[in-house]
Amino acid sequence: MSPSPPPWFPPGPQPSVSPHPPPPPAPPPCGPSPRPPAVQLGSSRSPAARLSPPPPWLSQDTGVAMPGANIVTQNDLLIVGPGVLGRLVAEKWLKEHPGCKVYGQTASTDHHSELTDIGIIPSLKGSTISQKAPYVIFCAPPSRSDDYPGDLRVAASNWNGEGSFLFTSSTALYDCSDNRLCNEDCPSIPVGRGPRTDVLLRAENVVLEAGGCVLRLAGLYKIDRGAHYFWLRKGTLDSRPDHIINQIHYEDAASLAIAIMKKRPRGRIFLGCDNKPLSRQEIMDAVNKSGKFDTEFHGFTVPTVHWGRGWRIRKPGPTLGGSPNTQASQSFSASTVSTRSHTLSNSSCYPE
């Protein structure tokens, strides 16, 4: 009579068990041990690591992460749209919360390997998440969405309500465009002004109704990304040189977003800018003086006509514990295009 199978055997037909034990394995041959395979230059993983079984949150069929496979801890973060800003948020969050998990939802699998390399657990948009996250930040732009407010509803449904839910929006929603200084108390434009702003206003409403917060950001930039880089590539610009531009460095925007999430506010709108509005001409003069580019901007072709808006934050950082970074005298300087500064601000006003 065959012995009973152990309890960890799967149900169904069992393999036969021989009463005679198998012969012992042959001893290894004499001589030196074979040399292990060499690690290729430029690879962060050894061949053995590349051949090891994939982590439990990664599907072996598609390489798509399965966020619900792990138990969510109190500092875990879901990033919807881990692009330039989202990746910076992830890197800073992981440094501040060692051992936590950061999930990233994307519209395609094109950059999943890059996300995995920096510690983000990737998944496709629409993936089912069995465990809700305590922190959720939505950084995806509306350009790749057929239903942007609907995407925000899905993100809100993946928030467990314990930490913070933050949506990165735009200062374009403030109704201020006559070249005067504006602040976070300025009214928002009404729905119906245009399709681009309407979709953002509706998305903001979804977030606020769910108890989340909105961070309206000025123009994001870094040394090789932003308005200055676009104008530099064009060489000349058919625009007014004195138009006021408001900006915030990607690094500062990420720090600001984290500072907000850590305070766990509810239903509020925040303004993120560097508090140093500059004209187009001032920005491009700084670019030409920086010496960081192999080409030069040649100028604007439209005569000066004062128009635009300059953001000045009226209520600085104490409500959120102060600015994450020390302010510089000028956010976009000639000495370094990538110099950063910003002031933390908040506003609870929102158009009914």
pLDDT at 295 over 80: yes
**Rounded Cα–Cα distance for residues 83 and 226 (Å):** 14
Whole-number pLDDT of residue 15: 43
User: What three-state secondary structure class fits 168?
Assistant: strand
pLDDT at 248: 96
- Domains located in the chain, CATH noted: 61-223+248-275+312-320 (3.40.50.720)
- What's the pLDDT at 282? 92
Strand boundaries in the chain, DSSP class E:
77-80, 102-106, 120-124, 133-138, 159-170, 180-182, 213-217, 219-221, 236-237, 244-245, 247-249, 269-272, 278-279, 299-300, 309-311
Of 167, 139, 163, 154, nearest to 73 by C-alpha is 163
Stretch 36-40: mean pLDDT, rounded?
35
Cβ(283)–Cβ(293) under 8 Å? no
Asked if the model's pLDDT at residue 140 lies above 90, the reply is yes
pLDDT band of residue 343 (cuts 50, 70, 90) is very low
Residue 276: C-alpha distances to residues 100, 289, 313 (Å): 35, 18, 10
Q: Return the pLDDT at 20.
A: 53
Stretch 72-100: mean pLDDT? 96
pLDDT of residue 347: 37
Read off the pLDDT of residues 149-174 as tens digits, 9 standing for 90 and up. Answer: 999 999 999 999 999 999 999 999 99
Distance between CA atoms of 275 and 337, rounded to whole angstroms? 16
Which two structure tokens, joined as six digits, stand for 183? 């602040």
What pLDDT, on the 0 to 100 scale, is given for residue 318? 37
**144 or 181, which is more confident?**
144
- The predicted model gives 262-277 an average pLDDT of 94
- For residue 291, what pLDDT is reported? 87
Whole-number Å distance between alpha carbons of 154 and 80: 10
pLDDT at residue 304 in the model? 59
More confident residue, 37 or 234: 234
Check whether 7 has a pLDDT greater than 80. no
Higher pLDDT among residues 228 and 89, named by residue: 89
**Which of 58 and 201 is assigned the larger pLDDT?**
201
Categorize the per-residue pLDDT at 334 as very low, low, confident or very high, splitting at 50, 70 and 90.
very low
pLDDT at residue 131, as a whole number:
86
Q: Label residues 96-122 b or e (16+ Cβ within 10 Å = b).
A: ebeebbbbbbbeeeebbeebbeebbbb
Average pLDDT, the chain: 76
pLDDT more than 90, % of the chain: 46
| Per-residue pLDDT tens over the stretch 119-130 | 999 999 888 777
pLDDT of res. 332: 58
